[in-house]
């Protein structure tokens, strides 16, 4: 789990708050920012680092220490101009990963072109799931079965290449169950324990999220 990274969330509406809360619940350090003093005053008691600021100003980005942040999530889809400016300023400041919530496919395309590393349409991905995916680097959430159990797409680790599932003993070591392999866009649900794994494959697994993070 990538809790050793620094995170910032711009925009503290319902979606932004859900991202912040999920990150905090997993022990991450999060700077939460909104331009509304009322919203910040409401949340300052529950979010340790909560600031009221205009993140479309270059000087503010510097003052907030955004150049030292690893991941910024911009949740201001209703204010497209602010989203564009914040994205540009964050990338100019050297933020490695900028994720932007969009309100339309057209906005997604524009934000990608001006530097967004990832774009999110909230009707397809909840704030909680986005936060889980941010924290679980190398894993992609496919579906939640329960609060603890998920179906995930898992990258093959380099040291697994050339071995089969019997040799890897993933169930015994990590309590994860492989239900399919994916390679070059093709998914094979016939899981043979003797299949040789190569580094171009991905595994579809069912696992407890606490167990899957042991792999890191």
- Please name the residues in contact with 69: beta carbons below 8 A apart, sequence gap of 6 or more: 6, 7, 8, 31, 95
Q: Which of 135, 153, 181 is the last residue of a domain?
A: 135
DSSP 114: T
Contact predicate 178/204, CB 8 Å: yes
Pair 166, 202 in one domain: yes
- Phi, psi (deg, nearest 5) at residue 178: -80, 125
Pair 74, 152 in one domain: no
Q: Which of 135, 161, 179 is the last residue of a domain?
A: 135
Pair 163, 81 in one domain: no
Which of 136, 148, 169, 157 is CA-nearest to residue 203?
157
Pair 14, 38 in one domain: yes
Q: How many domains does the chain have?
A: 2
In this prediction, residues 187-215 reach a mean pLDDT of 80
- Residue 41 Cα distances to 30, 66, 73, 76, 107, angstroms: 17, 21, 21, 18, 30
Q: Which pLDDT score is estimated for 1?
A: 42
Q: Which of 135, 154, 185 is the last residue of a domain?
A: 135
Which of 94, 58, 59, 91 is CA-nearest to residue 74?
91
Q: What's the predicted TM-score (pTM) here?
A: 0.64
Look up the CATH number of the domain holding residue 51: 3.40.50.720
Calculate what percentage of the chain has a pLDDT beyond 70: 85
Taking only the tens place, the pLDDT of each residue in 178-197 is 888 888 777 787 788 888 88
Taking only the tens place, the pLDDT of each residue in 142-173 is 455 566 777 777 888 888 889 999 999 888 88
Pair 131, 190 in one domain: no
Taking only the tens place, the pLDDT of each residue in 10-63 is 999 999 999 999 899 888 899 999 999 999 999 988 999 999 999 999 999 999
Pair 111, 165 in one domain: no
Pair 55, 36 in one domain: yes
Look up the CATH number of the domain holding residue 166: 3.30.70.1450
Structural domain that includes position 129: 6-135
Whether residue 205 is contained in a domain is answered as yes
Pair 118, 59 in one domain: yes
Pair 122, 202 in one domain: no
Pair 103, 154 in one domain: no
Whether residue 197 is contained in a domain is answered as yes
Pair 99, 176 in one domain: no
User: Does the structure show a pLDDT above 90 at 205?
Assistant: no
Whether residue 18 is contained in a domain is answered as yes
Whether residue 1 is contained in a domain is answered as no
Pair 72, 156 in one domain: no
């Amino acid at each position: 789990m990538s809790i050793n990274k620094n995170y910032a969330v711009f925009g503290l509406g319902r979606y932004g708050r859900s991202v912040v809360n999920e990150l905090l619940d997993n022990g991450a350090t999060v700077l939460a920012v909104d331009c509304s003093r009322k919203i910040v005053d409401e949340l300052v008691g529950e979010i340790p680092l909560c600031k009221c600021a205009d993140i479309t100003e270059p000087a503010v980005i510097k003052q907030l220490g955004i150049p030292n942040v690893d991941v910024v999530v911009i949740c201001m889809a209703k204010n497209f101009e602010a989203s564009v400016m914040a994205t540009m300023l964050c990338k100019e400041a050297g933020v490695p990963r900028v994720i932007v919530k969009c309100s339309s496919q057209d906005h997604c395309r524009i934000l990608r072109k001006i530097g967004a590393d990832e774009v999110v349409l909230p009707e397809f991905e909840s704030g909680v799931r986005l936060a889980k995916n941010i924290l679980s680097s190398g894993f992609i959430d496919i579906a939640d079965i329960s609060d603890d159990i998920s179906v995930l797409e898992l990258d093959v680790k380099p040291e697994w290449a050339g071995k089969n599932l019997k040799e890897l003993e993933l169930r015994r070591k990590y309590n994860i169950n492989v239900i399919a392999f994916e390679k070059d866009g093709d998914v094979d649900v016939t899981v043979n324990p003797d299949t040789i794994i190569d580094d171009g494959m991905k595994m579809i697994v069912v696992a407890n999220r606490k167990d899957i993070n042991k792999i890191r």
